[in-house]
Amino acid sequence: MGKIWRTMKTIALVLSLTMLWWGLISPGMARGDQEKAAEEQKGAEEKVEVVEVMEEIAVTATRTPMATFDIPQSVTVITEEQIKASPFDRVEDIIRQTPGVYNFRHYGLHTNGIVSPIRMRGVGNNRTLFLVDGVPQNDNFNNAIAWVAWGYIPKDAIERIEIVRGPMSSLYGSEGLGGVVNIITKKPSDRRETSVSGKLGNGSTYGSDEFYSQKFQNLGLLVAGGIEKTHGFFMDEPKKDYTIKRYSEVGKVLGKAGYDFTPQSNLTFTGLYYHHEQSQGREYFNSTLGLDQYWLTYTHNWDVVNIKGLLYLNRAHKIANQDTAKDNYASPFWKENFPDPMVWGADLQGTVFPARWLTVTSGITYKYVYWEYDVLYFTQIRTSGARGRQHFVSPFVNADLRFWDGKLLANLGARFDWIESRDGKSWDTKPEGGLTPFDDSFAANVWRNFSPKGGVVFHPDAQTALKASAGTGFRTPSLFELYKTHIRGGGTYLRIPNPDLNPEKITSYEVSVERDFFNQLLAKATFYQAFAKDYIGDRLIRSYIKGGKTYSEYKSENISRVDIKGVEVELEWYPRRDLSVFANYTWNSSKIAEDEENPLLEGKYLPNDPIHKFHLGMLYKNPALANIYLLANYYEDIFYDTENTFKCKGYFTLDASIYRTFFDHLTLRLDVENMFNRKYPLFMAVDGTTITPGFLVMGKVIVNF
């Protein structure tokens, strides 16, 4: 089997390079073939919309549509065409090519527990806000860092992905210290679009995807979904006698129904269901997660006023099984059950255009979070658990101003967040290590936060943009951090609740220059700096030995201050209508400026975020031959612990996708990830290393009808 996969990856690389060479420069075709291919290519080009870089439109940065060239903050829009060309199925993998973004998890699997893999601009773990059609997805309850199941949106349902780098609490409130990722799903199409696909890859991976979209006069319907199963890979080094493959089973479906009352008004209902079962590499260390989400959106656009209303409900059911360390992880320790925690909320905004030079958007949001969990122990009679709830009420305003016929633009915004955590409770009838049983109820806590932002853009000419912006961000302590007793290591690690935590905060600014050369080459350079304080971490309260075992007791507290700075350089080149090339480089330095728990950490880098990141990609579109996507990645200087003792100097990977449509109905596709089989580390620790499984290949057959 190993020889087969090595042969396939060699074939994939040879095909990519050969087809690219043939399509771009080969003069040796027969004249008849040349004319036929030219006609096919010309017809294809007429169907393909040429992307005007400066005219890309985004809504996330200002809550209203605006050209990215006019937005003060750093914004990246990943288009539907780019999403389709990507060899990856999950959003976390598709956006890995974005400057300032790092995904430490291997794209072949998403079985690294509940740690969200995205880091943005060096702010650390899971401090990126994730939206789907404007609906917040960071759940506030699942764990200490608001985990997001990045793989639950079907790829075929995504119209575009908007990424805003830098804190965005001025518009979206808590969570987005590093930035915002907003997935915009498709609207039902005027003509019927239907597709069914099957896929097969190594690791005994297989699955299928389905898509349907159609409008019936004023009514539109869209359904997308799929399943995927993999027997997985061994990812531990060295392998122990209890190590098993990290397998995964995933199912998801997204449905949308929209009705146009008038050409200016629309009501859309969207529902989403997602389920996964995953193993973290040991028999009794695994988890099951089910999500069901619903959102209702109403829009009405007049000449001088636009309104948008959003109602949403996010529910989750999670079960986590943990093993015990005392017998080499050969038996279960406990089962942690989250019975239907939920988030529901509303978002109402209005946009007015009082003058040609002024656009004002204002509104108010409300969010309610309820969370409860309990634990079933397999080796003793014992009960433990926690619960709590949070309320968010947040008015906001954003103003965009234009002067001198659009040569000078200004953006101002602010948001006030009132947040209450209440009904907190935590209990354990028989704690580990002989600790005293407890049943604690906590007083309510209220936080108030004001988040301003501002920015300017100056166009000395039509091809140049000089930008500067500054803003603030914050993250509310999650219900997990406030109220949950967290146990690991067979009970030897115990983290106790702390209802007195304060929100994490960040202040950031950036300056940048963008220049379009000959409407073919867009170059950008950005410098940013941020100062974060009150980072939440675990403080060691005490450590003791009992029964021959060492127990450590921790408490979450605001203990760290982090200084961040970096540079992003981007190039987008369109030398031909059928060819686009991009490259970007990020240098990021995130250092602990102060740590009250351990001053020896001061000056150390935050873990799991490379200091140097480089991406180089190419998309070649030739329907008469093949569409080819290549992505090269290089990462250097990655630390895996806060002490900076475990370090990866650097690694390189190459990803590719080749696909062609035959007879307008049949598409054959080959996606190759990590083509050169680099087995780089995901985590490094004293007791071992988690490594990537290496080369992955996925063959797909897609039928459109």
396-438 pLDDT, tens digit each: 999 999 999 999 999 999 999 999 999 999 999 988 777 789 9
Read off the tokens for 682. 């995901």
Name the range with the highest mean pLDDT among 46-50, 106-110, 112-116, 520-524: 520-524
Sign of CA dihedral 672, 675, 679, 681: negative
Average pLDDT over residues 372-379: 88
Residue 7, pLDDT above cutoff 50: no
- DSSP alpha helices (H): ranges in 421-560? 479-483
Please tell me the distance from the alpha carbon of residue 549 to that of residue 551, in angstroms, as a whole number.
6
| Chain centre distance of CA 291 | 17
Count up the domains in the chain and report the number: 1
Structural domain span for residue 678: 2-704
Average pLDDT over residues 202-212: 94
Residue 545, pLDDT above cutoff 80: yes
Q: What is the pLDDT of residue 115?
A: 55
Average pLDDT over residues 102-124: 70
Please tell me the distance from the alpha carbon of residue 76 to that of residue 633, in angstroms, as a whole number.
18
Name the range with the highest mean pLDDT among 332-336, 528-532, 663-667, 679-683: 528-532
Average pLDDT over residues 606-628: 94
Average pLDDT over residues 428-457: 92
**pTM score:** 0.90
Residue 530, pLDDT above cutoff 80: yes
Q: What is the pLDDT of residue 117?
A: 75
Lowest-pLDDT choice from 24-28, 601-605, 665-669: 24-28
Assess contact for 629 and 619: CB atoms under 8 A: yes
Assess contact for 16 and 656: CB atoms under 8 A: yes
Instruction: Please report which confidence band the pLDDT of residue 65 belongs to, taking 50, 70 and 90 as the band edges.
Output: very high
Q: What is the pLDDT of residue 521?
A: 95
How high does pLDDT run on average in the chain? Answer: 87
Cα dist from 87 to 83, 94, 669, 675, 678, whole Å: 9, 8, 9, 12, 17
Residue 468, pLDDT above cutoff 70: yes
Instruction: Please report which confidence band the pLDDT of residue 273 belongs to, taking 50, 70 and 90 as the band edges.
Output: very high
Average pLDDT over residues 439-455: 96
Distance from first CA to last CA of the chain, Å, rounded? 35
Please tell me the distance from the alpha carbon of residue 456 to that of residue 315, in angstroms, as a whole number.
40
Q: What is the pLDDT of residue 106?
A: 65
Query: Helix, strand, or coil here: 104?
Result: coil
What number of other Cβ atoms are within 10 A of residue 355's Cβ?
10
Residue 215, pLDDT above cutoff 50: yes
Q: What is the CATH number of the domain that holds 507?
A: 2.40.170.20
Q: What is the pLDDT of residue 537?
A: 83
Instruction: Please report which confidence band the pLDDT of residue 109 belongs to, taking 50, 70 and 90 as the band edges.
Output: low
Lowest-pLDDT choice from 53-62, 68-77, 310-319: 53-62
Instruction: Please report which confidence band the pLDDT of residue 95 belongs to, taking 50, 70 and 90 as the band edges.
Output: very high
